[in-house]
Each structure stands twice: as structure tokens, then as C-alpha cells.
Amino acid sequence: MIVDFQNCFLFIPLCFFSFICYSLFFKKLKDSQVGCDFLPSPPSLPIIGHLHHVLFSPTHKSLQKLSSKYGPLLYLRFFNFPVVLVSSASVAYEIFKAHDLSISSRENPPIDDSLLLGSSVFVGAHYGDYFKFMKKLLVTKLFGPQALERSRGVRADELERFYRSLSDKAIKKESVEIGKEATKLSINSICRMSMGRSFSEENGEAERIRGLVTELDGLTKKVLLVNLFRWPLEKLGISLFKKEITYVSNSFDELLERILVEHEEKPDKHQGTDLMDVLLKACGDENAEHKISRKDIKALFLEVFFGGTDTSAQTTQWTMAEIINNPKILVRIREEIDSVVGKTRLIHETDLPNLPYLQAVVKEGLRLHTPYPIFVRMFQERCEIKGFQVQENTTLVVNSYAVMRDPKSWEDPNEFKPERFLGKEEETRSLKFSAFGSGRRGCPGSNLGYIFVGTAVGMMVQCFDWEIKGDKVNMDEAGGINLSMAHPLKCTPVPRTEAFISNLQIS
């Protein structure tokens, strides 16, 4: 068992507080425990309920253990927060098919005025007019098929930059941190697609934003803890992790404010049509369909940077690690790319539909190493699930890590076998494959995610062989909410052959 010492450190004072809380809040606790307690539930502790199960990292694994022992549909309680934990495709499918609208909110009431936890958040927003307005803009300007077609050139440019950076390392025989390079690819692409410029490498801006995204990644578990413990700790006048959350939030705020001002000052530079222009226009328009503030714009950009960069970069890194550990898979992808793309140009994203094996490899990478192993919603009304009544305001937690490694749904669930996806689409529809969530609040960036990972992995296999220290890549997972590698993948690119590289036509 891996013990996260920071959480252990938290756990001890929390147990201590439990005694105080017990006398202060016992009645309130009892009142709130209505409804779900007829669902199967593992043994719990007084006051903290099942909290001790999630304090030990990684959370998705602790929850997977619980579900394999007690079943795929469980009732849990963290203090007075009722939670329904779902860990199988059939239960998740039933919930999303019958109750998608009732679970289309995340409903984290704002804690302070920050970009991270304040009232402007998009990912945590209630499924109402504000959310629908922002989502419509995201789809028309960033994620929809036409928007993706318009921004194809930007991504092709960034893929070539990525290729050049790897070639440079190959010439110098230097190793590369795949996760860092993949983060550059996705963050530069998303910035150029959404605000017409990327962060400059020269003045340290790019490094700063990448650092902030990494810090944000480290904060996700803390943000979750803040949400869980808010009720008892607020009563005791304690603000958990306030300093760290405020620091990251303010740093993003400052950076994004500078970009907003620059955008307003030079509107012709980007023809006034990118996502940032449209949001700024709506912000200044009294008659806009929905009134939005500057803070709303900054919070949305922060969430899009975070939602789109770390996820794609982690998936690219894990998938490359699996490919390096399975050389036969590398050979098969390369044969497919050579036969479809040829040997004189780099892979394009328009090749992806003709590369079914590469697509299957990416999907298998997402199945085994899904970057968001758990996703969270809120029941907004009373629902019946598998004959059990679930009360309004109960949190729904879907452990997609457990769903995608469930031996009832997958043969050899822990093995990397891309062939399982060849010619199969029903896994996604039946929610056996749930890396992007589902329903109205499912990931809007899934197509873009497939493009980033597919082209990055495709190019790395098409153009280079890979050397690592030792025989195999260490596949241990780091603790935490997001699924990242305990030992980030570091490897050295070796040009496939001199002839291949010199024939390649790069603009």
C-alpha cells in the first residue's frame, strides 16, 4: 500500500477534530443521512464515515478495492457528504441512459473569489444558461468539426515543431522527457487555436505557464479535499490550502489579464474571430445572450488549458511507454503508417481515420491509463438506480479506472492489447470505455484529445526508434487524483534511418 504522507498528516488532526465535530454536529449528520443508506455500503467510521478509504493514495485504486469487495454500486459517506460510487459499465450505463439530465451538474458552491474555486468556474458550473452559453462558444470556436478544420494548420505547425525538437535531441544524442514535450505540443496548439498566440519561449512566459499547469495538477486533490472538508472546517474557522490555491489562482489571473489587455489593444492581429475575441465582445455587450465578466473568461481559459494539456500529455506519455515496452506493437504501427502515409512526409491528423491500428493503440493507452480515473457529478433530484432510491444532492463518483479494468467487461483487463479495439465501437456506447466521461457533461475536447495523442504518438513511431535506460520502462503510477507516471518517461530518440530522415519533406 502506498501511503501519501501529506494526507496521513492531514488524517491525524482530522481524527482529533472528529471528537469536537461529533458533539457540535452530530444531529446535523444524522439528518443528512437519509435515502441512500439502503444501498450496499462498506463499514464506516464514526463522523468521518468512509473518508479513510480515499486518504490513502491513489484514490481510484482504493475505490477499486472497495468495489471489488462490496460491489459495483455503493453508498459512501465523507462526513455528512453522501456519495454514490459506481464501478461497472452496466451500472454507469443505466444511470447515464435514464438520468443524464439529473446528473448534469457538478455543483461545487463557490468558496472564494478565486479563478479556481470561485463563482466563475465552468467545469463546476450548474447545468444552466451560463454553462450552455459558454459551451456553445467553446464548440463553435474550438471543439466543433468546423472549428477543428479551421485550426488544422496550427496543429500541423506545432507537430512539425515537436518533430524538429526531437530531431535536434536525436542529433545531440540527448534524452527527452516525453510528458514535457507533449505538454508543449498541446499547450501551444490550444493557445494558438483559442487566442491566436502561443506563450513565448524567449521571455520565460511558456515555461511559467507550463509550471503553473503542473502546479494546478498537484492542486487537484487539494481542491477536492477543500470541497469535502469545507463544512466541518469552516465551522472551526480553518481555510484549507488557501495560500497555495490563492497563489496559483492569482498567477493565472495576472497572466491571463495581460493577454486580455493585449488582445483588446491589437484586435486586427487575430481578425477578431478567435474564442478570446468572441468572449471579450460578449463581456462588453449589454445585449449579449448572456452577461459574462472578465473573471468568467479567465476561469474558462484556465480550465481549458488544464483540461486539454495535462490529459493529452499524460496519455501520450503512458502510450509511448507501453509501445517501448512492446516492440512488436511499434513495428505494427510503423508498417501501417508507412503503407498509408508513405515515407516522404510526416503523418497528418487527416491520416488518422485511415490508421485503425494506431487509433486502437491510443484507445488502449486511454483504457489502461486514463488521465481522469474518476469523474464526479451531483444528483439534482431523487433518482431510482437498480431499485435503490438515491436522494437529491448526493454526489455521484464514477470510477472509470475500475470500469475500464473490470474483468467482467474486458478479457485480460490489465494487459496492453490494442487489437481488442479493432472494428469495435460499442465499448464507447455501452460505457465500457469511459475515458471521456459521458452525456451532457462528457468531455467536449475528446476529438481534439484523440488528435493530439494520435499525431504525437504516430510521429514519434514513424520517425524514431527509442532508447531507454534498462530493459523496460517503469510503469508505476504516482499517487493523487490524476493518473500520472511515478517515474516520468525519459528516452532518447534515434533517427529511424539516415535515408528516411533525409527523404522526409518538412516545410
Interface residues with ligand HEM (CB under 6 A) are: 123, 190, 303-304, 307-308, 311-312, 315, 366, 370-372, 375, 435-438, 441-445, 448-449, 453
Q: How far is the CB of 122 from ligand HEM (least distance, A)?
A: 6
- Least separation, in Å, of the C-beta of 186 and ligand HEM? 7
Least Å distance between CB 311 and ligand HEM?
Answer: 4
Judging by DSSP bridges, how do beta strands 490-495 and 176-177 pair with one another?
antiparallel
Tell me which amino acid residue 149 is.
E
What is the smallest separation between the CB atom of 19 and ligand HEM, expressed in angstroms?
36
Pairing mode of beta strands 383-385, 388-390: antiparallel
Beta-carbon neighbour count of residue 144 at 10 Å?
15
What are the beta bridge partners of residue 76?
Answer: 83
DSSP H helices, 139-196, are 145-150, 152-172, 178-195
Contact 71, 399 (CB under 8 A): no
Nearer to ligand HEM, 55 or 304 (CB): 304
Q: 312 by DSSP, 3-state: which?
A: helix
Picking from 15, 26, 92, 23, the residue whose alpha carbon sits closest to that of residue 51 is 15
> Least distance to ligand HEM from the beta carbon of 1, Å?
26
Residue number with CB closer to ligand HEM (58 or 232): 58
Report the nearest approach of ligand HEM to the CB of residue 443 (Å): 3
Task: Tell me the C-alpha distance between 270 and 256, whole Å.
Answer: 17
Binding residues for heme: 443
Query: CB neighbours of 254 closer than 8 A, spacing ≥ 6?
Result: none
- Of 42 and 488, CB closest to ligand HEM: 488
C-alpha cell at 457: 504518438
C-alpha cell of residue 324: 517501448
Minimal distance, residue 399 CB to ligand HEM, in Å? 11
d(CA 155, CA 152): 5
In the complex with ligand HEM, which residue's Cβ is closer, 49 or 445?
Answer: 445
Distance CA 115, CA 216 (A): 12
Q: Cβ(460)–Cβ(320) under 8 Å?
A: yes
SS (H, E, C) 318-364: HHHHHHHHCHHHHHHHHHHHHHHHCCCCCCCHHHHHHCHHHHHHHHH
Rounded least distance, CB 182 to ligand HEM, Å: 10
For residue 290, CA distances in Å to 140, 161, 221, 279, 287 come to 16, 39, 32, 11, 8
- Least distance from C-beta 484 to ligand HEM, angstroms? 13
Q: Tell me whether residue 17 or residue 162 sits nearer to ligand HEM (CB atom).
A: 162
Nearer to ligand HEM by Cβ, of 115 and 443: the residue is: 443
> Cis omega before residue 58 (within 30°)?
yes
Question: Which residue, judged by CB position, is nearest to ligand HEM in the bound state?
Answer: 437
Query: Which residue, 445 or 480, is less far from ligand HEM as judged by CB?
Result: 445
Question: Quick one: 59 or 312, whose CB is closer to ligand HEM?
Answer: 312
Asked if residue 466 lies in contact with residue 331, where contact means CB atoms within 8 angstroms, the answer is no
Smaller CB distance to ligand HEM: residue 274 or 465? 274
For the beta carbon of residue 143, count every other beta carbon within 10 angstroms. Answer: 19
Cell of 364: 488502449
